[in-house]
């Protein structure tokens, strides 16, 4: 059965982790929107890729596979892929949970470099500030308002997971929605 699933939500909502776990479960590739949006740099996520290049790369990967999972927000720049979606999964969690997840992830990735005297401190602070505004931001930034408007325009089925469930429980909800 063809499965083309896009999973998105706020930073720290678990879209990437869920995407890769779901792809493994259904035996298909998982593509992360960050890999298209950002040029590879060290440290990562510093230089945006040009929009048409992002779109070309994304469509190239999605078109080469009958089934796939796309994790992370492609809202706006990736709208050219909307006709390919069978199902979109929206994840939402309270800000405090998401920010704590982000802090832990950044600590694991960059260790003490995110501390006030570290080389990644400013980048880390900007990420945390940006992620903290998700629920209150307007449609000009990656925000709940933007995602809600975008989700309402989709022609495919959309499911919402708005509680802190285990990855396996989320996969069961998604697979159940796919079979209906």
Q: What does the pLDDT read at residue 1?
A: 59
Q: What does the pLDDT read at residue 106?
A: 92
Mean pLDDT of 144-155: 96
Q: Given a cut of 80, is residue 179 above it in pLDDT?
A: no
Domains of the chain, each with CATH number or no CATH: 4-179 (3.40.50.300)
What pTM was computed for the model? 0.93
The more confidently predicted of residues 62 and 42 is 62
Which of 50-59, 91-100, 122-131 has the least mean pLDDT? 122-131
How far is 150 from 137, CA to CA, in rounded Å? Answer: 15
Mean pLDDT of 56-72: 97
How far is 98 from 10, CA to CA, in rounded Å? Answer: 8
CA distances from 99 to 12, 64, 68, 73 (A): 7, 35, 28, 17
Structure confidence at residue 180 as a pLDDT band (50, 70, 90): low
């Amino acid at each position: 059965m063809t499965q083309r699933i896009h999973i998105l939500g706020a930073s720290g909502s678990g879209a990437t982790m869920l995407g890769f776990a779901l792809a493994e479960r259904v035996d298909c590739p998982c593509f992360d929107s960050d890999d298209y949006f950002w040029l590879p740099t060290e440290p990562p996520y510093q230089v945006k890729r040009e929009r048409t290049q992002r779109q070309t790369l994304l469509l190239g990967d999605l078109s080469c596979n009958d089934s796939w999972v796309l994790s992370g927000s492609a809202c706006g720049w990736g709208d050219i892929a909307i006709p390919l979606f069978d199902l979109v999964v929206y994840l939402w969690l309270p800000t405090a949970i998401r920010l704590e997840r982000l802090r832990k992830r950044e600590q694991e990735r960059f260790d003490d470099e995110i501390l006030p005297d570290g080389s990644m401190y400013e980048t880390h602070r900007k990420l945390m500030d940006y992620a903290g505004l998700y629920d209150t931001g307007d449609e000009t930034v990656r925000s709940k308002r933007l995602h809600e408007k975008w989700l309402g325009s989709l022609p495919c089925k959309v499911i919402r997971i708005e509680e802190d469930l285990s990855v396996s429980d989320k996969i069961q909800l998604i697979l159940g929605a796919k079979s209906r």
